[in-house]
A and B are shown apart, each in its own frame.
Chain A
Amino acid sequence: MSEIVKFLHYSGYGFIVLGVIFDFFGCLGLIRLPDLYNRLQAATKCVTMGTCSIMFGVLLITGFSPQGMKALFVIIFLILTAPTSAHALARAAHIAGVRLWEKSVCDYYREDKVLNPPEPKAGEVLPTSHPKDEE
């Protein structure tokens, strides 16, 4: 085994350890934080970063084999889709009427929806808002 391959192996295992640590702290935030939005931030960012790091470790260890190429594909796919699903979840939870934590400071999305509703265009029907928004 040459020196470069040995170095790639050890750095790959280092990336796997980093990813497992990120996964663990993301799940700790998922059970510990007080609010849905805080939990969403901790869980989604940390766990996506951790899984991408594990996949990069697999890519470094196995090199340009079929396994490594599949790992690269999973990295690209996760980076594209995980923020999309997190954004959709936060928006859906806000529309469904999930409250913020009572010590939260500001809520710009609610201010935009309640105080400055968008002008309806001609022939467009706005979606009906949730009854909790009119309180």
Chain B
Amino acid sequence: MRVLSWLLGILFLTMIVTWILLSPPLSFLIRCFYIILLCGILCLYRILKGPTAADRAVAIDTLGVLIVGFCAILSLSTGRSWYLDIAIAWALQSFIGVLALTKFLEGRSFDE
């Protein structure tokens, strides 16, 4: 059963990545964009399924760093530099949010 689910996951990911890389009418940056969207969906799977709260916190941290790269590729493909402002603000907020989550996991109050 474990081998079956493993093979199914490999097949599924390979199909999606092959479709992203080989579908003809897309430009280069849009393909990178879709692969980062796929990574975000994998993080969402870990957030839904994670056995403990700390797993979900790790996935949220990873998702925040992914979205920063996502904004960089958006700013290149559209030529608008204010997407990088969003990236800076997102990195700050994600860092502070993860530190607050760790305080909560340790069982201390927020101003300690």
Contact = CB atoms under 8 A, between A and B. Distances in A.
Interface in B69-89: 69, 72-73, 75-76, 81, 84-85, 87-88
Interface stretch (A75-83, A101-109, A114-122): A75-83
B107 A81 contact: no
Interface in A34-91: 36, 39-40, 43-44, 47-48, 50-51, 54-55, 58, 61-62, 65-67, 70-71, 73-74, 77-78, 81-82, 84-86, 88-89, 91
Interface in A92-135: 92-93, 95-96, 98, 127, 130
Interface SS of A by simple majority: helix
B55 to A, nearest CB: 6
A84 B61 CA distance: 12
Contacts of B58: 30, 36, 39-40, 43-44, 89
A27 interface: yes
Question: How many residues of A sit at the interface, in one of the four size bands?
Answer: 35 or more
A67 B92 CA distance: 18
B62 A92 contact: no
B66 A89 contact: no
Contact of A70 (B36, B53, B88): B88
Nearest to A81: B95
Interface of B: 13, 17, 28-29, 32, 35-36, 38-39, 42-43, 45-46, 52-55, 57-59, 61-62, 65-66, 68-69, 72-73, 75-76, 81, 84-85, 87-88, 91-92, 95, 98-99, 101-103, 105-108
28 contacts: A16-B32, A17-B32, A20-B35, A24-B17, A24-B39, A27-B42, A30-B42, A30-B46, A44-B58, A44-B62, A51-B66, A54-B69, A58-B72, A58-B75, A66-B81, A67-B81, A70-B81, A70-B84, A77-B92, A78-B91, A84-B95, A85-B61, A85-B102, A89-B61, A91-B102, A92-B106, A93-B52, A130-B107
